[in-house]
Structure 1
Amino acid sequence: MSAHDQAAGLRKWADLQRQQHQTQSAESEPAEGVVAAEPLTAPTDPSTLSSVPQKPLVVIGMPNGGDLQVARVKGRLAQWSALGRRWAGDPDDWEIHIVSGDAANLGQLNDRFSRWALWINSDADAFSQMYRSLRQIKENGGPRQLLALHEPNLPRRGLLDNLREAASYYLDIELLLLAR
């Protein structure tokens, strides 16, 4: 790939990020009926369990907790489900846990949970922020395989491919990118 092609791709990506940021700024309320996941250390109340066992998904790369972050993750799962991805199922069947990459108990959480994801931001500083999160995951005993969660219109070329390659080469972490 020539330097011109890469620069044009990066300009296109930056323009897309500005448009998405403006759209996100206009949205102020999370999806109706979405509730934040309980903290990982909270005891489970048997009376609140649904008849369908929830699938835990630990997400790194977002601000901790909050309805908005859980709604964004569930929204992305809903999009995959609408595309026919059976593994995504009903977004309400997922128990979403938002965790920091530098959490002291990341190794213990890695032993406890098998499904992990990295939320990939789409702003101008996304690569450095996400690479830092991946480095913290490695340093703190986190998983070696994570699903990439990102906006559906974020192109694979550029940020996603670069992040996947850097994670693999430098950190021995597999970042799973799903094709649309």
Structure 2
Amino acid sequence: MSGQDQASGLRKWANLQRQQQEPQGQVDEEGRVDALSTEQPSAPEPAPESLEPEPKPEPNPEPALKKRLMVVGLPSIANSQVDRVRGRLEQWSALGRHWAGKPENWDIHVVMADDPALHDYARRYSRWALWVNSHADSFVDTFRTLRQLRESGGPQRLLALHEPNLPRAGLLNNLQAAAQAYLDIELLILAR
């Protein structure tokens, strides 16, 4: 910091101190009191060691509440399956889907379709997804999972999660139509 800048900063600080102590008199930038003031200016207080304002402690941002997402249709409840779901949410987020938010803000739970607590989960949690694989038997396997959900009192509205290159025409549209017509389950499919 140059000497001139430091001197200017000290003058401003001293002026501020004087203004706070002498509300009737006007102090200019050079530290002189206006002639209309009835009081004599007091001696300036010693300058602080540093002109840099003390940094204010940053408020601790509250952690974002995680949104719980219950996912069925995955082969196991392993962490690698959760990573698949989180990866898909990340892809949707990158495509500008604001609802997907940040993948780390989701609390993802993989549930098996034959879980005895499925009915209780369906009553407690509102966000559900169905993982749809793209292998040859996907329709049969996924429809079986949907049927188990229906018979167990599971959710009646699910988001279809799938690999990014799986076309809507064919498997996804057929699953959506069959789920609605035969099981009264709404399967939400997002267009890319």
What is the aligned partner in structure 2 of residue 69 from structure 1?
81
Letter of the structure 1 residue corresponding to residue 187 of structure 2: L
In the TM superposition, what are the counterparts of 1:31-180 in structure 2 within 5 Å? 51-180=63-192
Alignment-mate amino acid for residue 121 of structure 1: N
Give the Cα separation in 2 of the matches to 1:177 and 1:65.
23
Residue equivalent to 1:31: none
Query: 1 or 2, which has the higher helix percentage?
Result: 1
Q: For residues 135-175 of structure 1, give each alpha carbon's deviation from its aligned partner in whole angstroms, at most 9, with x where no partner exists.
A: 00000000110000001110011100000000000000000
Query: What secondary structure is seen at the aligned counterpart in 2 of 1:142?
Result: coil
- Partner SS state of residue 87, structure 1: helix
CA distance in 2, matches of 1:140, 1:64: 19
Identity fraction in percent: 59
The count of residues paired between Structure 1 and Structure 2 equals: 131
Question: In structure 1, how many angstroms separate the alpha carbons of the residues matched to 2:73 and 2:189?
Answer: 16
Structure 1 unaligned blocks of 5 or more: 1-49
User: What's the RMSD between the two structures over aligned residues?
Assistant: 0.9
Counterpart secondary structure, 1:58: strand
Q: Distance in 1 between matches of 2:85 and 2:165?
A: 15
Larger radius of gyration: 2
Cα distance in structure 1, aligned partners of 2:142 and 2:75: 12
CA distance in structure 2 between the aligned counterparts of 1:71 and 1:147, rounded to whole angstroms: 17
Q: Which amino acid aligns with 2:109?
A: H
Cα displacement string for residues 29-68 of structure 1 (whole angstroms, at most 9, x for unaligned residues): xxxxxxxxxxxxxxxxxxxxx8111100000000232121
TM-score norm. by structure 1 comes to 0.71
Structure 1: 4+ residue segments shifted above 3 A: none
Contact 1:120–1:126 (CA under 8 A) maintained in structure 2 = yes
Per the TM alignment, residue 127 of structure 1 is displaced from its structure 2 partner at its CA by 0.3
Larger RCO (CA under 8 A, 6+ residues apart): 1
Where 1:56 maps in the other structure, the secondary structure is: strand
Question: Using the alignment, how far apart are the partners of 2:119 and 2:79 within structure 1?
Answer: 25
